[in-house]
């Protein structure tokens, strides 16, 4: 069989992988704070004892688009958005510290402050736990103040401060859980220059129109690779018939 079928197969494989990434981006176009993923491929010559006349498609390390999404006003007191650069520190499911721009907070039945994805928000004292209260207030610097039950409205007690960080972008990598982490896996220090906007949320940075166009392009690329595999099969059959006739 002609080796072109393997070349086409590698191209089709990478087109499918890129389509999966693009489809995931499109599915998360409405997810708060979502950062789009990249899928790239590289043309790699196949070296051997003879001239490298064939080129295969190989996957490269994927990355994430860290551009900011648009900020919308919700008016909800537990909705927070990062103003400019920075991230919220959260506790991932494996217990490690990770970072996100999703500020759709809520308080669960145990009093823990979480975001919409279920990740516990971290403060300067670790995971933030909020007791029963009459009112709650978030400062732009991440400070959380509450009005204890039975106290007057002018009695606000500072409970904790959300850990806001701003590590270098080139040191961040996105995990399979959608959270950002430092490449060395270590936590980073709080950054006092990072601020929040109350009653607002950052939307996904996925461009839905561009993702749809990309989906069509990848589908056509896959079809072209499959057509090439069929052509290789037809050539192989034709060659076999010629050999049998000779």
Domain ranges of the chain: 4-65+206-245, 71-202
Alpha-carbon gap, residue 37 to 18, rounded angstroms: 10
Per-residue tokens: 137: 């207030």
Write the DSSP assignment of the chain as a string of letters. Answer: --THHHHHHHHHHHHHHHHHHHHHHHHTTTSTT---B---EEEEE--SSS----EEEEE----B--PPPPEEE---TTBEEEESS-EEEEE-TTS-EEEE---B-EE-TTSBEE-TT-PEEEETTEE-B---EEEEEE-TTSEEEEEETTS-TT--EEEEEB-EE---GGGEEE-TTS-EEETT-------TT-EEEETEEEPP---HHHHHHHHHHHHHHHHHHHHHHHHHHHHHHHHHHHHHH-
Alpha-carbon gap, residue 183 to 127, rounded angstroms: 22
Assess whether pLDDT exceeds 70 at residue 60. Answer: no
Q: What is the pLDDT of residue 39?
A: 79
Q: What is the pLDDT of residue 131?
A: 93
* pTM recorded for the entire structure: 0.82
pLDDT (average), residues 38-59: 73
Q: How many whole angstroms from its chain centre is CA 96? A: 17
Q: What is the pLDDT of residue 219?
A: 94
Q: Which residue, among 38, 57, 54, 34, has the nearest Cα to 46 in the 3D structure?
A: 54
Out of 38-52, 82-96, 112-126, pick the least confident.
Answer: 38-52
Per residue in 117-139, pLDDT tens? 999 999 988 999 999 999 999 99
Mean pLDDT of the chain: 89
Per residue in 171-207, pLDDT tens? 999 998 999 999 988 999 999 999 999 999 999 999 9
Q: What is the pLDDT of residue 239?
A: 76
Alpha-carbon gap, residue 99 to 109, rounded angstroms: 23
The more confidently predicted of residues 153 and 136 is: 136
């Amino acid at each position: 069989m002609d080796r072109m079928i393997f070349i086409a197969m590698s191209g089709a494989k990478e087109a499918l992988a890129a389509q999966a990434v693009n489809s995931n981006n499109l599915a998360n176009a409405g997810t708060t704070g979502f950062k789009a993923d990249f899928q790239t491929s590289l043309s790699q010559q196949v070296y051997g004892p003879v001239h490298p006349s064939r080129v295969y498609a190989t996957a490269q390390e994927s990355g994430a688009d860290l551009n900011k999404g648009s900020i919308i006003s919700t008016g909800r007191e537990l909705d927070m958005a990062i103003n400019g650069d920075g991230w919220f520190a959260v506790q991932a499911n494996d217990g490690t510290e990770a970072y996100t721009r999703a500020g759709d907070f809520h308080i669960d039945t145990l009093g823990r402050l979480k975001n919409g994805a279920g990740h516990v928000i971290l403060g300067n004292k670790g995971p933030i736990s909020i007791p029963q209260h009459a009112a709650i207030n978030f400062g732009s610097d991440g400070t959380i103040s509450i009005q204890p039950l039975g106290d007057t409205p002018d009695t606000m007690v500072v409970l904790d401060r959300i850990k806001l960080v701003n590590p270098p972008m080139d040191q961040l990598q996105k995990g399979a859980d959608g959270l950002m982490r430092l490449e060395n896996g270590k936590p980073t220090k709080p950054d006092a220059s990072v601020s929040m906007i109350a009653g607002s949320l950052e939307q996904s940075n996925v461009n839905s129109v561009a993702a749809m166009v990309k989906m069509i392009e990848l589908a056509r690329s896959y079809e072209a690779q499959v057509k090439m595999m069929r052509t290789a099969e037809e050539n192989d059959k034709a060659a076999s018939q010629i050999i049998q006739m000779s």
